[in-house]
Amino acid sequence: MGKTAKIALAGEGGQGVQSVAEILAEAAYEEGREAIYIPNFGVEQRGGVSIAYLQISDQPIGSPKFQKADIVVALSDRAVIRTQRYVDERTTFVYDTSIEGVEEHLPKNAGRVFGIPAIEVSKTELHPRVFNIIIMGAVIRATEVVTLDEAKTAIEKKLGYKFDENPKLREMNYQALEAGIALVEKAL
Amino acid sequence: MTEKPIQGERKMFLTGNEVVAWAALAAKVDIMYGYPITPQNEIMHYWTRMAPKYGKKFLQTEDELSAGFTTIGGVLAGKKAFTATAGPGNTLMQEPISMAEMMRIPTVVVIQQRGGPSTATVIYSQQEVTMTTYGGNGEGFRVVYSTATHQELFDYTIKAFNTAWKYRFPTFVLGDGYQAKMRESLHIYDPEEKGIKLVEPTPTLSRPGQIGVNREPNHIRNTYNTEEELYQIVMGYAKEYAEISPEIIEFQEQDVDDAEIVIVSHGVVSRAALAATQELRKAGYKVGYFRPITLRPFPTERMRAVAANTKKLLVVESALGQLNKLVLNEIYGLTTPIETLLKPGVGVTSEEIVTRIKSLL
Amino acid sequence: MTLNPQMPKCWRVESKPHKFCPGCGHGLVLKALGEAIDELGIQDRVVFGCDIGCSLLTWDFFDVDTVQTHHGRTTPVITGLKRANPDAIGIAYMGDGGGYAIGSQHLVNAAARNEKITVILANNTNYGMTGGQMAPTTLPGQKTETSPYGRDAEDIGYPTQGPEMVAAIGQKGAYVARGTMANIRQLKGYFKKALQNQMDGTGFSFVEALASCPTNWRTNAKDTWNFVENEMSKYFAVGELKVPDQLKEV
């Protein structure tokens, strides 16, 4: 992969977009690639839309923020609206299908727009707490910025201490990762 | 307690605030004084977690005035001391730093620039350039390193303590909210293992010994009675500052020799400028890149030579012309036109610079 | 030059006679402080910080390490020094403007943190150096350059009672007192306890000293003493407000 992959993840506080970005950045870093992750922060971080800006590349990365993303993942109605500014004709725009009444706000100029039922799958098939890992799987499949193995290693690094207490969690997280990958494959 | 915080060289993936705390430990800093303000808070958070393990201290003060003046107190006691702040905190910090400037107290202050004027945003800007280089009621006898990457944040934080203690001018590391909050990789190391000699701090006050037996008391002041007395002091500092400037000045450049236009930027924006330069060169545009690393003292000689040798300059910054003012001042007398891309309080991407350059050539 | 036999040993001979106005209270306050330093035998360990205002004239007053700071900022400079070198004995010397107005946040928070330093504040009810403006301590009805018809307490409040404020904030182990130049022996005793408290590492120490300013008060010798002894001490009660246990026997 020659060029820099630019990813914007947006959701409500608690949906875990920042930790997804951080784990992905760690995974890329462990692969020996260049990665920059910067959260949006500010007065808005209390009660506003949470956005994570992530760039992964084989070369040194320029500005930590970007104007247009290669992939945008929006996980709430506010996030869909807020992230339109990062979209152009090369952007893949992913949203969660459980967001109601959002169709009219979906970007018209995006290269590709598709929905995935990540929230629903996390509730019905897995567990709400691994929702963000499903999203991580979706990002991995949509961008191919890191390998599945590296993603697993990075999750292990971040959550390993919890897995040691409860090995079932590890299994659930890996399932979530694969579920996210599958959701994107189906949508493509 | 005696164990070294960093052994050998390690590649790490950190936020910039974390990098500063590691660098201060690596530079053998004794004490940090600080007051909370975004986006520098995590420097204190990491310092207070790591420092006690190595016998280092921390004091949370009542405001930035106090953070600056307690830092001065720590330095006068002969300890490596520093503080970190941003925005309105930097405004308050100018008072203690003007005292440090007058009394030649080697304070180190890390600034993570946020939006201005006033409270503005807690996010990012390059709007504290004028204040950090020439703030306070003084003549700008300071050293200001403007960093662009986490590696530089680490390297120049270590260097800042050496510069401050060697030359005894207050020294700033000028970062910004992006650098503070973003994560990227860098190598951290023990400077002494790399052959970087750390300048030893010495006490100005509370020195050992007996007064009248083996030492004299030290009386230090920043007040003078006559105009002539002050003039002599200030001109002495000015001469000394000019003399040591060539040893301190640092800059970075690329492709300037045959450039028809040179992009001038500093700090994190220079990352975008460098990326734009490389992209445009690949596309056949004769573009160059120039970046002062020290904003004080400014790399005047090289800036002039670069400006004289090209057809146009494009100054790019996340402020409404604060770097541009420095550049204009330094190249006075040359007729090279200056174009600007000024975005106060907002990041600049390489795409914007590329578009701008194409419109100019 | 002949040595004045009454001069404390830690006074700096070269800077005497000092630069205060005739009749100024600083000289007496500093004499009491000098004797306290001498009697405790701590000259080598003292770091003396002086503020802006008339107190800055003490920048070379003692044969001790001295730093002249900014207006109101002596408390944080001495705090920072003491934190970095706990063996030093830090004295922050200031006037009522420095302590109760421009530097009040530093005084309040140093007291709240129980910093192991000694703050000495000369209260002469006005800003002397700048020409006699109203201070936080100006008495009701007292005329100054910025209260030419007398301080109207209903309009701009009553004078700050510093030691009472510091005692209210003060933590366990703090020492707080108000002395007066009219009773030098007592004032010296307070200074000694304030310094001993720091040496014991017990807590923050604060002494306000009532001091005269005949130049700006425009008073003769008799009226000056009358103002200090009768007018000021009526509003500013002299005595100890907070004494830690280990100093109660002294």
What would the pLDDT profile of A4-43 be if each residue is shown by its tens digit? 899 999 999 888 899 999 999 999 999 999 999 999 876 6
Cβ pair B10, B188 in contact under 8 A: yes
Contact status of A10 with chain B (Cβ, < 8 Å): no
Q: Which of residues 196-235 of C touch B (CB under 8 A)?
A: none
Residue of B nearest to A53 (CA): B182
pLDDT for the residue C1: 56
One domain for residues B45 and B180? yes
Q: Give domain status of residue B204, yes or no.
A: no
Check B122 against A63: CB less than 8 A apart. Answer: no
pLDDT for the residue A3: 81
pLDDT for the residue A43: 63
3-state DSSP assignment of residue A169: helix
One domain for residues B156 and B34? yes
One domain for residues B259 and B113? no
One domain for residues B41 and B128? yes
Which residues on C lie below 8 Å from B212 (Cβ)?
63
A64 φ/ψ angles, rounded to the nearest 5 degrees: -70, -20
Q: Which two tokens stand for residue B356?
A: 């701008």
- Residue span of the structural domain in which A74 resides: 5-187
- Residue span of the structural domain in which B304 resides: 251-360
List of chains touching B (3+ CB pairs within 8 A): A, C
One domain for residues B43 and B119? yes
pLDDT at C234 over 90: yes
**β-strands C175-180, C239-242: how paired?**
antiparallel
Gap between the Cα atoms of C125 and C82, Å rounded: 29
Contacts of A105-112 with C-beta under 8 Å, sequence gap 24+, read: A105/A77, A105/A80, A105/A81, A106/A80, A110/A72
Q: Give domain status of residue B241, yes or no.
A: no
Please give the tally of structural domains in chain A. 1
For residue B45, how many other CB atoms are within 10 A of its CB? 15
Average pLDDT over residues B329-353: 96
What would the pLDDT profile of B93-115 be if each residue is shown by its tens digit? 999 999 999 999 999 999 999 99
pLDDT for the residue A46: 62
Gap between the Cα atoms of C223 and C220, Å rounded: 5
Cβ pair B290, B256 in contact under 8 A: yes
One domain for residues B268 and B133? no
pLDDT band at C96 (very low <50, low <70, confident <90, very high): very high
Contact status of C144 with chain B (Cβ, < 8 Å): no
Residues on B contacting A at a C-beta cutoff of 8 Å: 13, 38-39, 121-123, 177-179, 181-185, 268-269, 271-272, 274-276, 347-352
DSSP annotation string for B203-253: -SSS-SS-BTTTB---EE-S--SSHHHHHHHHHHHHHHHHHHHHHH--EEE
C150 φ/ψ angles, rounded to the nearest 5 degrees: 95, 145
pLDDT for the residue B300: 98
Residue of B nearest to A41 (CA): B123
Q: Give domain status of residue B205, yes or no.
A: no
pLDDT for the residue C5: 58
What would the pLDDT profile of C5-41 be if each residue is shown by its tens digit? 589 999 999 999 999 999 999 999 999 999 999 999 9
Q: Which of residues 60-119 of A touch B (CB under 8 A)?
A: 60-68
Which residues on B lie below 8 Å from C65 (Cβ)?
205-207, 217-219
Contacts of B129-133 with C-beta under 8 Å, sequence gap 24+, read: B129/B174, B129/B266, B129/B295, B129/B317, B129/B319, B129/B322, B129/B323, B129/B326, B130/B322, B130/B325, B131/B90, B131/B91, B131/B94, B132/B90, B132/B172, B132/B174, B132/B295, B133/B295, B133/B296, B133/B326
Check A64 against B351: CB less than 8 A apart. Answer: no
What would the pLDDT profile of B3-44 be if each residue is shown by its tens digit? 789 998 999 999 999 999 999 999 999 999 999 999 999 999
Here the CATH number for the domain that contains residue A37 is: 3.40.920.10
Gap between the Cα atoms of A74 and A130, Å rounded: 17
Contact status of A25 with chain B (Cβ, < 8 Å): yes
Gap between the Cα atoms of B178 and B43, Å rounded: 14
Structural domains present in chain C: 13-248 (3.40.50.970)
pLDDT at B1 over 50: no
Q: Which of C187, C182, C189, C161 is nearest to C229 (CA)?
A: C182
One domain for residues B160 and B58? yes
pLDDT for the residue C249: 72
pTM, to two decimals: 0.95
One domain for residues B154 and B278? no
List of chains touching A (3+ CB pairs within 8 A): B
Å between B5 CA and nearest CA of chain C:
20
Here the CATH number for the domain that contains residue B326 is: 3.40.50.920
Residue of B nearest to A30 (CA): B13
E-only strand ranges, chain A: 5-12, 34-39, 49-57, 71-74, 92-96, 112-116
Domain endpoint, select from B149, B175, B194: B194
Peptide bond into B39 cis (omega under 30): yes
Query: Which of A36, A41, A63 is the best substitution to test chain B (most B C-beta atoms within 10 A)?
Result: A63
Q: Give domain status of residue B130, yes or no.
A: yes
Query: Which of A7, A20, A38 is the best substitution to test chain B (most B C-beta atoms within 10 A)?
Result: A38
Q: Give domain status of residue B315, yes or no.
A: yes
Q: For A59-68, B178-187, B198-207, B304-313, which range has the lowest pLDDT when averaged over its residues?
A: A59-68
Check C83 against B65: CB less than 8 A apart. Answer: no
Cβ pair C102, C129 in contact under 8 A: no
Which residues on A lie below 8 Å from B182 (Cβ)?
36-38, 64
3-state DSSP assignment of residue B188: strand
Cβ pair B317, B265 in contact under 8 A: yes
Q: What are the distances in angstroms from CA B285 to CA B258, B277, C107?
A: 10, 9, 62
Gap between the Cα atoms of B235 and B139, Å rounded: 10
pLDDT for the residue B178: 96
For residue B286, how many other CB atoms are within 10 A of its CB? 16
The count of residues in chain A is 188
Here the CATH number for the domain that contains residue B108 is: 3.40.50.970
For residue B305, how many other CB atoms are within 10 A of its CB? 15
Å between A81 CA and nearest CA of chain B:
20
pLDDT band at C188 (very low <50, low <70, confident <90, very high): very high
pLDDT at B251 over 50: yes
Q: Which of B58, B109, B28 is nearest to C83 (CA)?
A: B58
Please give the tally of structural domains in chain B. 2
Average pLDDT over residues C114-142: 97
B265 φ/ψ angles, rounded to the nearest 5 degrees: -150, 175
pLDDT for the residue A40: 87
Q: Give domain status of residue B167, yes or no.
A: yes
For residue B69, how many other CB atoms are within 10 A of its CB? 35
A172 φ/ψ angles, rounded to the nearest 5 degrees: -65, -40
Half-sphere exposure of C197 (CA within 13 A, CB side): 32
Gap between the Cα atoms of B256 and B263, Å rounded: 9
HEC states along C199-236? Answer: HCCCCCEEEEEECCCHHHHCCCHHHHHHHHHHHHHHHC
Peptide bond into B297 cis (omega under 30): yes
Our measurement of the distance from residue C51's CA atom to the centroid of its chain's CA atoms, rounded to an integer in Å, reads 10
pLDDT band at B2 (very low <50, low <70, confident <90, very high): low
DSSP annotation string for C146-171: TBTT-B-HHHH-PPP-HHHHHHHH--
pLDDT at A160 over 50: yes
Q: Give domain status of residue B190, yes or no.
A: yes
pLDDT band at A1 (very low <50, low <70, confident <90, very high): very low
